[in-house]
């Protein structure tokens, strides 16, 4: 600046200088803001673009000053069009509009709002986190958008699992308590009564143990932590054990149990215990859901074309309706057939068996006709001879 004693020109010169200075400061501020909310190219907005959450900065008129790519996708607006638009044009939800106004306006209120939206892929749930920001740069609020659909789906599944699990555990527990109480109340229980009650208690506690074991396995599978202990497994021993284990049970119900095995069985690479568990489930079900005097057969063969081992369990039992067939592999699902409710079970066996076999690269499929019988086929890659 020059001394103003030199006259009017000096005063004007100084005023000009000051104006210039202000202009320069303003330009610098604008450039910084532009970088921050910029149209790509800067590191910061590049980093924001990499976020899977949507990020928006709005001013006090709810005009979008910055939006990353994810925000445009969540709002269903073209990336090029989103900056400069009034945010409330892209959202319809009244509660959300109110919250945006309350954050960007004088109240400077924070809010977190969850909104359900129908999408092509089904129902989606989005969480909007709205925070007022320092006003210096002409900005008023920041909005973060997250897709929490999976979180909600997982929550629902967990709640359902807990509800069903509690229900399954309650029945055997109630039976144990009732029989124990009657044993305690009876002053001089006769031997037959005692044996009967103890048998029920024994059976029910084994049932509890099985249910808890199955649930732990299901939980491990869902957490992705179920480990397979793989080894070369020789099937002949497994099948002769299976036949021995189930022959007595079949005889009790007057069911003819037949095993048709090829003369030479291949070896498979598998977790022996888990494979046996899956086979037990299929054969156990066939005997459980076949009325007295029926017939159950186990056929084993190697499909030459695919090199797969096929373990097929056929019964002429109560069968499964087409509607139920599409659900029997779901956890806790039991057919809506009144004959099923009188037979104990948790609906976990098939779900577990199929998951375990799929982890081996195989599968389990069902073919069935109501009142005629069912065939469950377990297929597994066999080892080349």
Residue number with CB closer to ligand ADP (74 or 289): 289
Residue number with CB closer to ligand ADP (121 or 342): 342
Residues 340, 334: contact at Cβ < 8 Å? yes
- 237-271 as b/e: b if 16+ CB within 10 A: ebbeebbeebeeebeeeebebebeeeeebbbbebb
Q: Does 88 bind ligand ADP (CB under 6 A)?
A: no
Residue 289 beta carbon to ligand ADP: minimum distance, rounded to whole angstroms: 3
Q: Does 289 bind ligand ADP (CB under 6 A)?
A: yes
- Which residues between 295 and 354 bind ligand ADP (CB under 6 A)? 315, 317-320, 328, 333-335, 340, 345-351
Residue number with CB closer to ligand ADP (162 or 343): 343
- Nearest residue to the partner ligand ADP, using Cβ: 345
Residue 318 beta carbon to ligand ADP: minimum distance, rounded to whole angstroms: 5
Backbone φ, ψ for residue 254 (5° rounding) = 65, 30
Q: Does 294 bind ligand ADP (CB under 6 A)?
A: no
One residue of 285, 298, 355, 378 binding ligand ADP per CB under 6 A: 285
DSSP labels, 74-125: HHT--HHHHTTSBGGGT---HHHHHHHHHHHSTT---EEEEEEEEETTEEEE
How many angstroms separate the CA atoms of 98 and 362, rounded? 54
Please report, for residues 43, 49, 108, the alpha-carbon distance to residue 73 in angstroms, rounded to integers and kept in the order given.
Answer: 21, 11, 27
Residue number with CB closer to ligand ADP (108 or 288): 288
The 364-383 contact track toward ligand ADP, x by CB under 6 A, reads ----------x---------
Q: Does 145 bind ligand ADP (CB under 6 A)?
A: no
Other CB atoms within 10 Å distance of the CB of residue 173: 14
How many angstroms separate the CA atoms of 314 and 298, rounded? 6
User: Which residues on adjacent β-strands are paired with residue 86?
Assistant: 63
Q: Does 281 bind ligand ADP (CB under 6 A)?
A: yes
Residues 312, 286: contact at Cβ < 8 Å? no
Residue 372 beta carbon to ligand ADP: minimum distance, rounded to whole angstroms: 10
Residue number with CB closer to ligand ADP (111 or 328): 328
Residues 345, 334: contact at Cβ < 8 Å? yes
Q: Does 286 bind ligand ADP (CB under 6 A)?
A: yes
Please report, for residues 3, 16, 322, the alpha-carbon distance to residue 13 in angstroms, rounded to integers and kept in the order given.
Answer: 10, 5, 93
Residue 214 beta carbon to ligand ADP: minimum distance, rounded to whole angstroms: 9
Residue 245 beta carbon to ligand ADP: minimum distance, rounded to whole angstroms: 17
Residues that bind ligand ADP (CB under 6 A): 281, 285-286, 289, 315, 317-320, 328, 333-335, 340, 345-351, 374
């Amino acid at each position: 600046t020059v001394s103003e004693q030199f006259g009017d020109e000096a005063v004007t010169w100084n005023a000009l200088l000051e104006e210039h200075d202000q202009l320069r400061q303003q330009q610098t501020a604008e450039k910084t803001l532009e970088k921050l909310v910029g149209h790509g190219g800067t590191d910061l907005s590049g980093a924001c673009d990499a976020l899977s959450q949507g990020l928006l900065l709005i001013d006090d008129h709810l005009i979008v000053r910055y939006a990353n790519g994810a925000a445009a996708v969540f709002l269903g607006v073209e990336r090029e069009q989103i900056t400069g638009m009034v945010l409330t044009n892209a959202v319809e939800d009244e509660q959300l509009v109110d919250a945006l106004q309350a954050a960007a306006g004088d109240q400077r209120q924070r809010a977190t709002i969850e909104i359900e939206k129908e999408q092509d892929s089904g129902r989606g749930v989005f969480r909007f986190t709205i925070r007022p920001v320092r006003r210096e740069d002409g900005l008023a609020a920041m909005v973060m958008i997250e897709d929490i659909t999976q979180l909600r789906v997982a929550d629902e599944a967990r709640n359902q699992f807990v509800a069903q699990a509690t229900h399954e555990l309650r029945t055997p527990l109630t039976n144990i308590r009732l029989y124990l109480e009657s044993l305690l109340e009876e002053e001089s229980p006769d031997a037959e009564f005692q044996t009967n009650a103890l048998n029920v208690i024994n059976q029910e506690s084994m049932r509890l143990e099985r249910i808890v074991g199955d649930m732990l396995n299901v939980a491990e599978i869902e957490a992705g932590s179920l480990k397979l202990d793989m080894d070369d497994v020789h099937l002949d021993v497994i099948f002769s054990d299976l036949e021995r284990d189930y022959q007595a049970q079949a005889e009790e119900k007057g069911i003819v149990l037949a095993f048709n095995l090829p003369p030479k069985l291949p070896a498979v690479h598998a977790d022996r215990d888990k494979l046996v568990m899956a086979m037990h489930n299929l054969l156990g079900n066939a005997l459980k859901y076949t009325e007295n005097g029926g017939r159950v057969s186990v056929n084993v063969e190697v499909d030459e074309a695919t090199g797969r081992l096929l373990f097929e369990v056929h019964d002429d039992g109560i069968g499964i309706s087409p509607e139920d067939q599409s659900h029997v592999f779901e956890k806790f699902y039991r057919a809506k057939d009144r004959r099923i409710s009188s037979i104990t079970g948790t609906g976990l066996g098939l779900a577990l068996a199929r998951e375990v076999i799929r982890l081996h690269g195989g599968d389990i499929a069902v073919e069935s006709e109501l009142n005629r019988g069912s065939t469950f086929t377990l297929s597994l890659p066999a080892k080349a001879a």
